[in-house]
Amino acid sequence: MTRAGKNSRGVVERSLASFVDALEHAFYAEELAKKNGLLQKLDPRVKIVAILPLIVIAALARRLWVIAVLFALAVAIALLSSVPLGTLARRVWLGVLTFTGFISFPALFLTPGPAISSLPLLGWTVTAQGLRAAIYLIMRAETAATFSVLLVLCTPWSNVLKALRVLRLPVVLVVVLGMTYRYIFLLLRNAHDMFTSRKSRIVGRLDGPEQRRAATASVGVLMSKTIQLSGDVYLAMRSRGFQGEVYVLDEFRTNWFDWAMLALFITVAFLAFWFGR
Amino acid sequence: MTVPIFEARDVTYSYREVTALDGLNLTIMPGQRIVLLGANGSGKSTLLSMLDGLCFPEKGSVAFQGEPLAEDRLIGEVEFAFRRRVALVFQNPDVQLFNPTVFDEVAFGPLQLHWPKEQVRLRVTEILEQMEIGHLKDRSPHHLSTGEKKRVALASVLILDPEVLLLDEPTAALDPKSESQMIDFLVSCSGGRKTVVTATHDLDLVEDIADYCHIFRRGRIVAAGTPTEILNDHALLLNTNLVHAHRHAHAPGELHSHPHRHGHRH
């Protein structure tokens, strides 16, 4: 598949570019999950049990230095797991900073407390407590999001779902989410092919209403194909014995390294909880 | 007296206003290798779905080993027993490969039929090695080529060692090497070990994989016979859109067209 040209505009070209981006992201994540790094070597269940408490503690800790230490730990784990920091910056840090920064922006001025600065032109006063609240929110979000993304990037998605069974996630949810992941790629490819064929038959640019009609028609066709596919998949499942209950099999095996790392993570989580309370 | 494995009597089935099967009659004996020949839309896939108990006739009846194959009977343990014995490989492998990895896909059938987990693990590993797709164990279906998908789809049903195999266009969209591997497998099913019913419009397969052929046209069987009888009846093949006339050259500069089929040399 090819990416649309740099200067291309219009719903068709933008859609094609976004389909290719989505597939590239997914393939890149799958390649990272195959590397021989620290997290990749761990049993998926151990990863879930080890990382989830760190996410919760990062979100609840009351001391900034504890959150900073957890963030540094996340960065260290990323480096040991062969996850480039540039990937984390693009996929996590910039997005979280933008989003939480936007949410916490009003708190800078509205939180009561002594003024430490003011915005030029507008003259809005930034308070110490407001700045502290914003920093806490951003640090908690960045740290929790970094741990979450590391868990997903370093584990094949199907294994993440199966490992969540250790938290008593219902089997049917594991299967439904697994099938969703499996068929997203097929539908993305279908959508890409549809838009490519449309683009090959367009001369010049479509105006706004025509672009919206094209997008709406494409959504309708994809919906129709998806409904047909879902019916066929159900028949394929029935053909192999599905009667409403699903059963999964996992190939997970723990070893001494998994238990040692789990003990280490639990210890770090306890210390973070103790010093961050 | 041997009971037919399948018997269809006056079967009619429609998709809304489109008649897919129109008063069809068919008998398949155990151990036979049957090919259902017909152009696109002639009713072959619908019949295979019906033989697999996935859809049921509006009129007429289908029986499996003398027992009616009806919606109200194919439930619970009866359905389990049927699914262990009859397997369908769909034309579109993306429909059949709905699990996140190849390993999960091949394990799906035995798990649904309540095999012990350890037995499932061992048997999945064995079948993946037999089909020479062990290296694809942890791959996701969207990373597989069409040939690999078809082999995984076949492995996912062969793991159950069914008595009856229903195959819908098994060589469609395959490259020559994958096609030859599939044909090798179908040839290996000879000797009466399994009943194999293959739907195809590819006449080049017929002599290798069939003991008997049924020709479909507009939802009916219009002819039946051995591969030799069918392939020598050019009028029948032309009439049922199984051969075509197109321009081709027998020698440089000599272009003409006549109905023919592409075969192979020994």
Does residue B81 belong to any structural domain of this protein?
Answer: yes
Average pLDDT, whole number, for chain B? Answer: 87
pLDDT at A143: 96
**3 state SS of B217:** strand
Nearest CA-CA partner of A165 in A49, A86, A267 = A49
Sign of the alpha-carbon torsion through A18, A24, A25, A30: positive
Task: Give mean pLDDT, residues A53-66.
Answer: 93
CATH of the domain at B208: 3.40.50.300
pLDDT at A7: 44
Instruction: Select, from the ranges B133-137, B182-186, B242-246, the one with the highest average predicted confidence (pLDDT).
Output: B133-137
State how far the Cα of A215 lies from the Cα of A200, in Å rounded to an integer: 16
CA dihedral in degrees (A132, A138, A142, A148; nearest 10)?
110
Quick one: which H or E segment has residue B104?
Answer: helix B102-112
Residue A1 has pLDDT above 50, yes or no: no
Lowest mean pLDDT among A98-102, A205-209, A240-244: A205-209
Report the DSSP beta bridge partners of residue A44: none
Residue B203 has pLDDT above 90, yes or no: no
Report the percent of chain A where pLDDT is more than 90.
44
Does residue B103 belong to any structural domain of this protein?
Answer: no
Nearby residues of A229 by Cβ (< 8 Å), 6 or more positions away: A183, A186, B94, B95
Q: pTM of the entire structure?
A: 0.82
Residue with tokens 């920091």: A85
pLDDT at B56: 95
The chain A residue lying nearest B101, using CA atoms, is A158
* A186, A229, A235: residue with CB nearest B54: A235
pLDDT at B258: 55
* Structure confidence at residue B245 as a pLDDT band (50, 70, 90): low
The number of C-beta contacts closer than 8 angstroms across A and B is 88
For residue B141, the 8-state DSSP code is G
Report the DSSP beta bridge partners of residue B196: B33, B165
pLDDT at A6: 43
Does residue B124 belong to any structural domain of this protein?
Answer: no
Contact B140 A30 (CB under 8 A): yes
Interface of chain B against chain A, CB under 8 Å?
Answer: 49, 52, 54, 76, 79-80, 83-84, 87-88, 90, 92, 94-101, 103-104, 107-109, 111-114, 117, 120-121, 138, 140-143, 156-157, 160
For residue B215, the 8-state DSSP code is E
ipTM over the 0.85 cut-off: yes
**3 state SS of B196:** strand
* Exposure of B130 in the CB half-sphere (CA atoms within 13 A): 14
Which residues, numbered 189 to 248 in chain A, qualify as contacts with chain B under a Cβ-Cβ cut-off of 8 Å?
A: 189, 229, 232-233, 235-243, 246-248
Contact A64, A136 (CB under 8 A): yes
State how far the Cα of A247 lies from the Cα of A257, in Å rounded to an integer: 29
pLDDT at B252: 58
Nearby residues of A51 by Cβ (< 8 Å), 6 or more positions away: A147, A148, A150, A151, A265
Amino acid at residue number B181: Q
Residue A26 has pLDDT above 90, yes or no: no
pLDDT at A5: 45
pLDDT at A45: 92
The tens digit of pLDDT for each residue in B144-197 reads 998 899 999 999 999 999 999 999 998 888 888 888 888 888 888 766 789 999
Nearest CA-CA partner of A240 in B109, B49, B98, B81 = B109
* Token output for A127: 């308070």
Instruction: Spell out which residues of chain A touch residue B92, defining contact as CB-CB under 8 Å.
Output: 232
Burial B103-125 (b: 16+ CB within 10 A, else e): bbbbbbbbbbbebeeeebbebbe
Domain count, chain B: 1
Nearest CA-CA partner of B59 in B9, B99, B114 = B9
Report the DSSP beta bridge partners of residue B22: B12
State how far the Cα of B8 lies from the Cα of B205, in Å rounded to an integer: 25
Backbone φ, ψ for residue B46 (5° rounding)? -65, -40
**3 state SS of B223:** strand
Q: How far apart are the first and last CA of chain A?
A: 51
* Exposure of B13 in the CB half-sphere (CA atoms within 13 A): 25
State how far the Cα of B185 lies from the Cα of A152, in Å rounded to an integer: 40
State how far the Cα of A118 lies from the Cα of B47, in Å rounded to an integer: 78
Please provide the DSSP assignment of chain A as one string: --PPPTT--SHHHHHHHHHHHHHHHHHHHHHHHTS-SHHHHS-HHHHHHHHHHHHHHHHH---HHHHHHHHHHHHHHHHHTT--HHHHIIIIIHHHHHHHHHHHHHHHHHS-S-EEEE-TTT-PEEEHHHHHHHHHHHHHHHHHHHHHHHHHHTS-HHHHHHHGGGGT--HHHHHHHHHHHHHHHHHHHHHHHHHHHHHHT--S---HHHHHHHHHHHHHHHHHHHHHHHHHHHHHHHHTT-SS-----------HHHHHHHHHHHHHHHHHHHHH-
Residue with the bigger pLDDT between A22 and B105: it is B105
pLDDT at B142: 85
**CB neighbourhood size of A193 (10 A):** 12
Contact B201, B35 (CB under 8 A): no
Does residue B36 belong to any structural domain of this protein?
Answer: yes
State how far the Cα of B121 lies from the Cα of B110, in Å rounded to an integer: 10
pLDDT at B256: 54
**3 state SS of B117:** helix
Give B82 to chain A, closest Cα distance, Å. 9
State how far the Cα of A20 lies from the Cα of A10, in Å rounded to an integer: 16
Q: What is the span of the domain harbouring residue B217?
A: 6-92+163-260
Task: Give mean pLDDT, residues B211-231.
Answer: 92
Please provide the DSSP assignment of B16-73 as one string: TTEEEEEEEEEEE-TT-EEEEE--TTSSHHHHHHHHTTSS--SEEEEEETTEE--TTT
Q: Is A183 on the interface with B (CB under 8 A)?
A: yes
* A182, A235, A241: residue with CB nearest B109: A241
Does residue B70 belong to any structural domain of this protein?
Answer: yes
Residue B46 has pLDDT above 90, yes or no: yes
Does residue B100 belong to any structural domain of this protein?
Answer: no
* Structure confidence at residue B232 as a pLDDT band (50, 70, 90): confident
Nearest CA-CA partner of A143 in A234, A268, A255 = A268
